[in-house]
Chain A
Amino acid sequence: MSKEISVRQICFIMLVYTAVSKFIFYPCELSFGSGRDLLFAAATDFLIQGIIIWAVSYLCSRTDKTFFELIEGTLGNITARIIYGFFALFFILCTVVPLFEQKLYVQDIFYDTVPSLTVFLPFFIFSIYAASKNFRNIGRSADICMPLFFVSMLLIFSMSLFEVEWDAFLPILKTPLKSVFGGSLTTAFRFFEPCWLLMFMGHFKYKEGDAAKITLSYAGGAAFVLTVLLIFHGVYGGAAATRQFAISKISLFFPAIDVIGRIDLISLYVLEVVMIFALVINIQLAVHCLVKCTGYDNRPVFSLIVNGLLILVIVLFNNNLSTIHKMWSNWFWIATLVFANIIPLAAWGLRRRTEQ
């Protein structure tokens, strides 16, 4: 089988896409749930996911089969197809909230007035095109996104880090544990990264030490998110819970902005390119799962179907993010628990070697 994606590219995906997918609503949501101890809540989620990512990447060292082949080898082809069908549905549902958030974020940072939904719809033209591509495309796009991400984050951090009020975090760990872990639980639906790795399994050539590299990359992504959370809460304090689009708000108080204008927007626009790819990866994986599920290798058709569904959702529920968000944070964490945590761990129980 041709190895379409490299470990380096998976590491970039784990670092970059993990981080940028949590820069918009996640900080304010966590600030609302866990208050000044939001870092602990986030660290808890990242720690759990990190362990699962390590487990999946370590599993990759034990077999060169894809996840589909593992299920097929143990439970049969039909079961594998059904499970992939469910994964396709899971990836589509995973995209819904980030898609709404991205739409609002775009309307906020790219436009002075709140424009209609139509300005966001061209995203789907790109999405249809990108989702019809294979893993090679996903990997190489990550190669390009990596430097874009680093340059823009460097600029944003340099404009915002010195504006942090450290006493906003004091007293530490005084928030009731129930609230801290409540914050973790309500935001758990955003942690689906182990599923990405599960899908890449068998599509890259594993070498010794790669599990550590992948896990450390995920930790790197987590470090970026934690830094943004730190700056965000440090800048806004108690008001952080009411500030959406965290990444675009943290550098607003940079003194030079008064003189030279919103130069932070340049970084945000560069980062938006990365965000677009991070948003599309779930759609790409949904298409991949549908191809496996049906055995019909026509990605453009599935890409059209998946994106058509998402367009329908976004048009029908255009102004109902709060309802959807409530539903997802209350219930969707169960699906995330099953697909992103239990199934990846259960994959260890599948037959890894072909019987002679």
Chain B
Amino acid sequence: MDTMFMVTLEKNIKSVKDVLTSQDIIVFEFNSQEGKKFAAVYADGLADKQLLGELVVKPLKTARENCSLEEAKGILASPEVKDGKKIKDAVNEISDGNVVLFVDGEKDFLIIGLKNPPGRSVAEPPTQVTIKGPREGFIEDIKVNLGLVRKRLKSENLKVKMLKSGKRSETAVALIYLDGVCPEGLPERIEKQLAANEIDIVPDSSYISQFISKKPRSVFKRNGTAEKPDIFCAKLCEGRVGLIVDGSPIAVTVPYMIVEDIQAGEDYYTMSYRSTIIRIMRVAALFIGLLLPALYVAAQLFKIQIIPFQLLLKISSSVSGLPLSPSVEMFLTLLVLEILNEASIRMPKYVGLALSVVGALVLGDTAVKAGVISTPAIIIIAFSAICLYTTPDLVETTTTLRWIFLIIAGSIGTFGIPLFVAYLICYLVTEQSYGVPLLAPFAPLVKNDLYDSMVKANMYSLEARPQAFGLKNKVRLKNK
């Protein structure tokens, strides 16, 4: 496949068509006024035909006789033109959405950047909606995403290294970092880790996230994510390395600390007091969501004293006559919630609305009236679900852990809860993401970084970049 092209136009076209046999590969042949033959080869639906006509075909049709490849390059009005020599390059570029231009009598060809794949326009990501602050979000087009980043970081130190991942998909991956800010050698380590994996297709950044993770089997993720360019750029300025994957609206960032997921973009655009209160509330909600179902089961089964007496009377009247034990009841309620959650995501929008009504009213209400499950169980599970979504980036982990806590509380009892918490602490304190402890700045305690953890101090207190990263360039704010 690395063979050189032959000189006649027909043979060149045949070489490409021998590899790209699909019918959506279009060969558009045209002549100049003087009779010089050209052929533009592109993938239908990926290349911009209007621009092809205006920037390529129109100027060449007026060209004089016997214009060479170099001359043709000068005639073209397209700003993105480069030379190509090998058939493999031509095939890759056509598959990528660009146009390959053959000139009769020339063995080389031109690659014209007219890629315009179908995609949506820049919009606010549904999981990171803000009241204050920028609303632009990443989309599936890597070029647009890179543009959104470059728009915010005009520094000459912003480095973008284009990589490919996926044996068959050849997905473009942009490795982005701020030179002189990010830890030395980190981009190279990530690149090496990425290159160590070979897979057919990389449809989303989550694949890349797993490839660059040192412990992909862990319940706890090792990489951060960003769906908005403002957050992504802020992370780069803190010394992280970012990865934008073609076809994915979610960028990956490393190193990662769990505290990142407690922070939200909007925290930095509102008053620090308000942000602090909200962050503490998020952490509280996280623990409530995680532990409340387990504590409720444990309290009912093993330690009824935890529940205040008046509430206990209410619960008692609610659970009397139930055919299920508290643990089975809670287990089933949680199972129903997970099924409803899963179904509501997969179902068409309008069916989903109906499903919500069926799930919430019909199933919930009738199950309580029929005496199958109790009202407190539904309240607790619903509240737990709401609480966990205050930290949406941790939901995958926390919903998994909630099951484990529930099973432990129903079997070992109340003691199982602090025991498992201790286990999680013991596990997490030495876990790392590219040399940065997951629990930093709490363990190990990094005093400087505490100003932007549970607490969000005012802007002037955040003059240093996170010290947990061990950066050489430490200052990010100078107050002159």
User: Is A144 within 8 A of B425, CB to CB?
Assistant: yes
Range class of the B interface residue count: 20 to 34
Nearest Cβ distance between residue A267 and chain B, in whole angstroms?
12
Chain B residue with the shortest CB-CB distance to A260: B308
A58 CA to B414 CA in the complex, in Å?
43
Cα separation A63 to B423 with both chains bound (whole Å): 35
Q: A126 to B426, alpha carbons, bound, how many Å?
A: 9
Is A171 part of the contact surface with B, judged by Cβ < 8 Å?
A: no
Contact partner, B414, options A111, A123, A277, Cβ 8 Å = A111
Most chain-A CB neighbours within 10 Å: which of B423, B439, B445?
Answer: B445
Counting chain A CB atoms within 10 Å of each CB, the highest count among B412, B422, B444 belongs to: B422
Q: Which of A115, A141, A269 contacts B426 (CB 8 A)?
A: A141
Q: Which residues of B contact A266 (CB under 8 A)?
A: 306
Cβ A126 vs Cβ B303 within 8 A = no
Nearest chain-B residue to A147 (Cβ)?
Answer: B442
Docked-complex contact B306 and A119, CB < 8 angstroms: no
What are 7 A-B interface contacts by the 8 Å CB criterion? A110-B414, A126-B423, A130-B426, A141-B426, A261-B309, A262-B306, A273-B422
Q: Is the beta-carbon distance between A143 and B426 smaller than 8 angstroms?
A: no
Residues of chain A within 8 A of B302, CB atoms compared:
110-112, 115
Interface pair A137/B308, CB less than 8 Å apart:
no
| A143 CA / B425 CA spacing, docked (Å) | 10
Given A129-B427, A265-B303, A273-B425, 17 more pairs with CB closer than 8 A: A115-B302, A120-B415, A122-B419, A123-B415, A129-B423, A136-B430, A140-B429, A140-B430, A140-B444, A141-B426, A144-B425, A144-B439, A272-B415, A273-B421, A276-B418, A276-B419, A277-B426
Q: Which of B412, B418, B445 contacts A143 (CB 8 A)?
A: B445
Query: Does chain B have a CB within 8 A of A106?
Result: yes
Task: Identify B439's interface contact among A122, A140, A258, A276, CB under 8 A.
Answer: A140
Bound state CA distance, A258 and B306, in angstroms?
12
Interface pairs A-B: 7 shortest CB-CB: A261-B308, A140-B429, A110-B414, A143-B443, A140-B443, A272-B418, A110-B415
Across the interface, do A8 and B445 meet the contact criterion of CB distance under 8 Å? yes
Chain A residues near B445: list those with CB within 8 A: 8, 143
Q: From known contacts A120-B415, A261-B309, A269-B414, infer whether A133 and B304 are also in contact, taking CB-CB under 8 Å.
A: no
Contact yes or no, A269 B429, CB < 8 A: no
In-complex Cβ contact of B308 among A259, A270, A273, A277 (8 A): A259
Which A residues are within 8 Å of any B CB, using their own CB? 6, 8-9, 106, 109-112, 115, 119-120, 122-123, 125-126, 129-130, 133, 136-137, 139-141, 143-144, 147, 258-262, 265-266, 269-270, 272-273, 276-277
Q: Are A119 and B413 in contact (CB under 8 A)?
A: yes
- Whether A137 contacts B430 in the complex (CB less than 8 A), given A143-B444, A261-B307, comes out as yes
Task: Give A270 to B419 CA distance when docked, in angstroms.
Answer: 10
Within 8 Å of chain A (Cβ to Cβ): is B113?
Answer: no
B311 touches A261 (CB 8 A): yes
Interface flags for B381-415 (1: CB within 8 Å of A; 0: not) read 00000000000000000000000000000001111
- B426-480 CB contacts (< 8 Å) to partner A: 426-427, 429-430, 437, 439, 442-445
Q: Which residues of A contact B437 (CB under 8 A)?
A: 140
CA gap between A262 and B311 in the complex, in Å: 12
B293 to chain A, nearest CB (A): 16
Assembled-state Cα–Cα distance A262/B303 (Å): 11
Q: Do A144 and B305 touch across chains, with their CB atoms under 8 A apart?
A: no
Q: Is B242 on the interface with A (CB-CB < 8 A)? A: no
Determine if A126 and B419 form an interchain contact, defined as CB atoms under 8 angstroms apart. Answer: yes
List chain A residues, Cβ under 8 A from B249: none
Which B residues are CB-close (under 8 A) to A144? 425, 429, 439, 442-443
Q: By DSSP majority rule, is chain A's interface helix, strand, loop, or mixed?
A: helix
Q: Which residues of A contact B443 (CB under 8 A)?
A: 140-141, 143-144
B161 to chain A, nearest CB (A): 33
- Smallest CB separation, A286 vs chain B (Å): 17
In the complex, the chain B residue whose C-beta lies closest to that of A143 is: B443
Complex alpha-carbon distance, A115 and B303, angstroms: 11
Question: For the complex, what is the distance from the CA of A6 to the CA of B446, rounded to whole Å?
Answer: 12
Question: How far is B445's CA from A184's CA once the two chains are assembled, in angstroms?
Answer: 36
Are B418 and A269 in contact, with the CB atoms below 8 A? yes
> Do A141 and B415 have beta carbons less than 8 Å apart?
no
| Chain B residue at minimal CB-CB distance from A259 | B308
Cα A106 to Cα B303 in complex, Å, equals 11
CA distance A123 to B306 in the complex (A): 22
A102 to chain B, nearest CB (A): 10
Complex-state Cα separation, A122 to B439, whole angstroms: 25
How far apart are the CA atoms of A110 and B415 in the complex, in Å? 6
Q: List residues of chain B with CB within 8 A of the CB of A9.
A: 444
Residue of B312, B422, B442 near A276 (CB, 8 A) is B422
B308 touching A133, Cβ below 8 Å: no
- B419 interface neighbour in A123, A137, A139, Cβ under 8 Å: A123
Give the complex CA separation of A258 and B414 in angstroms.
22
Min CB distance B405 to A, Å, is 13
Check A133–B426 contact: CB distance below 8 A.
Answer: yes
Residues of B contacting A109 with CB < 8 Å?
303
A109, A123, A143, A262 interface centre (most CB from chain B within 10 Å) = A143
A133 contacts across to B, CB distance below 8 A: 426, 430
Are A119 and B415 in touch, CB under 8 angstroms?
yes
Residues of A within 8 A of B56 (CB): none
Residues of A close to B418: CB separation below 8 A: 269-270, 272-273, 276
Which B-chain residue is minimally distant from A270 (CB atoms)?
A: B418
With an 8 A cutoff between CB atoms, is B377 at the interface?
no
Task: Answer yes or no: B364 CB below 8 A from chain A CBs.
Answer: no
Cβ–Cβ < 8 Å partners of A123 in chain B: 415, 419
Instruction: Give, as a whole number of angstroms, the nearest-CB distance from A282 to chain B.
Output: 15
Tell me the nearest residue of chain A to B446, going by C-beta: A143
Expressed in whole angstroms, the minimum distance between the Cβ of A149 and any Cβ of chain B is 13
In the bound complex, CA of A261 to CA of B304 (Å): 10
The CA-CA distance from A125 to B415 in the complex, in Å, is: 13
B284 to chain A, nearest CB (A): 12
Q: Could you say which residues of chain A place their CB within 8 Å of the CB of B413?
A: 110-111, 115, 119
Distance in Å from the Cβ of A167 to the closest Cβ of chain B?
Answer: 31
- Does B110 have its Cβ within 8 Å of any Cβ on chain A? no
The answer, yes or no, to whether B72 is at the interface (CB within 8 Å) is no
A111 CA to B409 CA, complexed, in Å: 12
Structural contact, B429 and A111, CB atoms closer than 8 A: no
Question: What is the distance, in angstroms, from A20's C-beta to the closest C-beta of chain B?
Answer: 13
**Does the CB pair B305–A261 fall under 8 Å?**
yes
Residues of A within 8 A of B308 (CB): 259-261
B181 adjacent to chain A (CB < 8 Å): no
Q: Is A110 a contact partner of B303 (Cβ separation < 8 A)? A: yes
* CA A147 to CA B444, docked complex, whole Å: 13
A112-B302, A261-B311, A262-B306 given as contacts; is B430 within 8 A of A277 (CB)?
no
Instruction: Note all chain B residues with C-beta closer than 8 A to A269.
Output: 414, 417-418
A265 contacts across to B, CB distance below 8 A: 303, 305-306
Interface assignment of B239: CB less than 8 Å from any CB of chain A: no
B229 within 8 A of A: no
User: Cα distance A261–B312 when bound, in Å?
Assistant: 10
Closest residue on chain A to residue B302 by CB atoms: A111
Compute how far the CA of A277 lies from the CA of B422 in the bound complex, rounded to whole angstroms.
7
**Nearest CB in chain B: distance from A126 CB, A:** 5
**Are B442 and A143 in contact, with the CB atoms below 8 A?**
yes
With A140-B443, A144-B429 given, is the CB distance from A112 to B419 under 8 Å? Answer: no
Q: Which A residues lie within 8 Å of B97 (CB)?
A: none
Smallest Cβ distance from A133 to chain B, in angstroms? Answer: 7
- Min CB distance B421 to A, Å, is 5
Closest to B414 in A: A110
Bound Cα distance from A115 to B304, whole angstroms: 14
Q: Which residues of B are found within 8 Å of A130, using beta-carbon distances?
A: 422, 426
